[in-house]
Structures are given as structure tokens and as C-alpha cells.
């Protein structure tokens, strides 16, 4: 920097061209990158995927206990029923895509709103609750009521067992693995 500000007679070999401009260039670069991201963010909102509305409930599972139903609704229904609730962030891409992906993947496996169609065997459902593999991690991170305690897991397993006994699904699907 001093080379230019001194008496204007800077020796040729001391003139550094890059250094004084570098911070400004970085700032410009970051600004441009930010703008590009903002535009991209706006554009991806136009992609229709991720905004599917809930299909109709063809036959709702009738839970024998209110507590079990509440647990299931809080921890499972967003992906395993046609009563999916979407909070604001899941309406904004790219989170909406992830949410839609979960719903699209979950409903065919188990759907408490389509109790008139084949559902997995009780053992399968119990297993994923016991092991804690359901609800999935990314869901638990943002839904406190999906982080089931050991006691709640037991309560949900009991409720599921009663449900399969008192109001079994129309058919059981062969265990696909």
C-alpha cells in the first residue's frame, strides 16, 4: 500500500498490484455469490415437487386409546397417514423436497389413513418403534414430540398391539424384508 501513497515515485519492483484490491474483490465476490444463491433460492421455489396436498382418508385406524393415538399422531402421522401437517419450513424448498420424499416413502410402507389396504405385520411396526429407527433422525431433530422416551415407546407399542387386535388393517402385507 505504501508504494502508491508515498511521493508517487515508487520503484517499479515494489509495486504490488493485487494486494490493495484484494479485500474489495473478496467482498464483491461474496456479494455476487450471495446474490446468485438468493436468485437460485427463489427459482427453486417454482419447482412444483414438494407441495402435494394430502390425499383423502379412505379408512382411518380406530385407536383403542387416546394416549396411543396422540403418540402416533405426534411421531408417525406426518409420514404414515394422509393427515400430514406441514409447518412453514417444510413448505420452502429444498426442505419441502426432503419432507415430500419422506412422505412419499413412508405412506406406501404404513398408512394409518388407509386401514382398508394391506399394512405391515404388527411385529414389523413394533420392531421399528422399539429399535428407535422410526421416527427417522432428521424428523426427530426438529420435532420434539417425536423424540419418544423409553416409556413412550412402550406405551406406543402397547397401543399398536391393541390397535392391531381391536381394529386390524384390512390385510397384512407379506413381509418384504
Give the separation between CA 146 and CA 135, rounded to whole angstroms.
7
Measured from the CB atom, the residue of 79 and 93 that comes closer to ligand HEC is: 79
From residue 38 to residue 57, what is the string marking binding to ligand HEC with x (rule CB under 6 A)? Answer: --------------------
Give the separation between CA 107 and CA 125, rounded to whole angstroms.
13
What's 54's DSSP letter?
Answer: P
Q: Is the dihedral of CA 118, 121, 122, 126 positive or negative?
A: negative
- 36-70 burial by CB neighbour count: b if 16+ within 10 A, else e? eeeeeeeeeeeeeebeeeeeebeeebebeeeebbe
Quick one: which of 124, 130, 147, 173 contacts ligand HEC (CB under 6 A)? 124
Measured from the CB atom, the residue of 42 and 94 that comes closer to ligand HEC is: 94
Interface residues for ligand HEC in 7-36 (CB under 6 A)? none
Total residues in contact with ligand HEC, by rule CB under 6 A: 20
Q: How far is CA 14 from CA 7, 9, 10, 37, in A?
A: 13, 10, 7, 39
Interface residues for ligand HEC in 61-80 (CB under 6 A)? 75-76, 78-80
> Least distance in Å: CB of 165 to ligand HEC?
16
Quick one: which of 109, 155, 161, 162 contacts ligand HEC (CB under 6 A)? 109
Quick one: which of 61, 129, 157, 163 contacts ligand HEC (CB under 6 A)? 129
Amino acid at each position: 500500500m505504501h508504494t502508491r501513497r508515498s511521493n508517487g515515485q515508487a520503484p517499479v519492483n515494489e509495486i504490488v498490484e493485487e494486494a490493495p484490491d484484494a479485500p474489495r474483490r473478496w467482498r464483491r465476490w461474496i456479494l455476487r455469490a450471495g446474490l446468485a444463491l438468493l436468485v437460485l433460492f427463489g427459482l427453486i421455489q417454482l419447482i412444483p415437487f414438494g407441495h402435494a396436498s394430502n390425499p383423502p382418508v379412505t379408512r382411518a385406524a380406530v385407536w383403542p386409546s387416546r394416549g396411543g393415538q396422540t403418540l402416533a399422531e405426534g411421531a408417525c402421522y406426518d409420514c404414515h397417514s394422509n393427515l400430514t401437517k406441514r409447518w412453514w419450513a417444510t413448505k420452502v424448498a429444498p426442505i419441502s423436497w426432503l419432507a415430500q420424499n419422506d412422505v412419499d416413502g413412508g405412506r406406501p410402507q404404513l398408512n394409518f389413513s388407509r386401514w382398508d389396504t394391506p399394512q405391515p405385520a404388527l411385529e414389523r411396526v413394533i420392531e421399528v418403534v422399539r429399535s428407535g429407527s422410526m421416527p427417522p433422525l432428521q424428523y426427530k431433530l426438529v420435532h420434539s414430540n417425536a423424540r419418544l422416551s423409553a416409556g413412550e415407546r412402550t406405551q406406543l407399542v402397547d397401543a399398536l398391539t391393541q390397535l392391531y387386535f381391536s381394529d386390524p388393517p384390512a390385510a397384512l402385507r407379506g413381509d418384504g424384508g
